[in-house]
Amino acid sequence: MPDGVARDMINAALAALRRSAGVESQVQLANTDDATATDGRIALRRHNVCHRYEVEWKSSIRSATALTLARAKSAGRGPWLLVTQYLTPYLANQCREIGLQFIDTAGNAHIDADGLYIFVSGQRPDEASTPVRMHGGGNPTAQRMIFALLCRPSLLRASYREIAQASGIALGSVGTVFNELAERGWLLEAAAAARRRLTAPDRLLDEWVTNYPTILRPRLHARRFAAPDPDWWRDMSLAELRNVYWGGEVAAEKMTAYLKPETQTLYVVPGHMSQSLKELVQTHRLRPQTNGPIEILDAFWERQSSNTKQPELAPAVLVYADLMASLSSRNLEAAAKVRKEEIQHVLDQF
């Protein structure tokens, strides 16, 4: 069931749509505790034409990755409308490019239905209105710990010391992250570690993937390269390098045999970066290039979190996040396959 803030903001967005585009509406908010349900149904009317949508409220959309996740979530459903507090002109244009319909409380909108096309961008939110509290994946420390938990469900019931070691964070930070998760309803904390439980691991994964490009990834010291041979990666054995893992499109191709990679992402254990870079550059004649198709970043996870079936690959959660952050429509189907085939059975263990 949407909370009071969500109810008010959905109604505010519909009122703003009436002001900016002359569209009337009727709304029926959901009355269910099903976490997978949308927040209600609306009917939009203009010029005697009616269009019905399932609606879902998101208080904050701060990245294009969040839009890509929303678009993937709506795939296969009937007409579906994202409602949020405010989208910048850049994010509104991203919605138009990926075919995601939305309205916000400032009056911006993208609606594309038979007999009804609306695109409004650049409307500013009312500064006098009360802002909605924006939750996030916290900070890099929280991102590291949540990532470790999503990769290894058994870690949820481990000691704080084991969790800190697996996450690469300070021991004192573990309780802080758990407290935040509990306050937000993601975690059922108990005196006995064996009884800790995540309430909605699927939604926690979505949040982690949304925040990864802006919170944790910028700290991984990305380096960009190009190679004379675009297929340089096909015959490369990471077993010879060690401490190097495929991420992104190459890892997805190796997991699903579905995607033809156009970019190559490698994660290298930081203490081995210098030697690994030297070998890669010499063997494959890599050259630094801004926005080149080859990206090499610091690995940030404990070895136990790596892909157990294919140890040369980064954890599936990270591969999925790489694909979603690419904002490439060609990667969405591959991302869905990675989530279904490599991640969902892990989430089901919580």
Among 200, 215, 230, give the residue marking a domain's end. 215
d(CA 162, CA 160): 5
Cα dihedral across residues 298, 264, 201, 72: positive or negative: positive
Q: pLDDT digit string (tens) for 62-88?
A: 888 889 888 887 877 789 999 998 999
* Residue 306: inside a domain: yes
**Residue, of 38 and 112, whose pLDDT is higher:** 112
Residue 114, C-beta contacts closer than 8 angstroms, at least 6 positions apart: 51
Between the two ends of the chain, the Cα-to-Cα distance in Å is 23
d(CA 220, CA 218): 6
* Residue 267: inside a domain: yes
Q: pLDDT digit string (tens) for 17-30?
A: 988 888 888 877 65
Hey, what's the torsion of the CAs at 147, 292, 221, 305, to 10 degrees?
30
The domain in which residue 157 lies consists of 140-215
* Residue 172: inside a domain: yes
Q: Looking at the structure, do residues 194 and 228 belong to the same domain, yes or no?
A: no
* Residue 135: inside a domain: no
3-class secondary-structure state, position 296: strand
* Residue 242: inside a domain: yes
* Residue 125: inside a domain: no
The amino acid present at 65, given as its one-letter code, is T
Confidence of residue 218 (pLDDT cuts 50, 70, 90): very high
| Residue 131: pLDDT over 70 | no
| Residue 263: pLDDT over 80 | yes
* Residue 176: inside a domain: yes
Q: Looking at the structure, do residues 16 and 81 belong to the same domain, yes or no?
A: yes
Structural domains in the chain (count): 3
Q: Looking at the structure, do residues 189 and 282 belong to the same domain, yes or no?
A: no
Q: Looking at the structure, do residues 314 and 225 belong to the same domain, yes or no?
A: yes
**In terms of DSSP H, where are the helices of 106-258?**
140-151, 160-167, 171-183, 201-215, 248-256
Domain CATH for 211 = 1.10.10
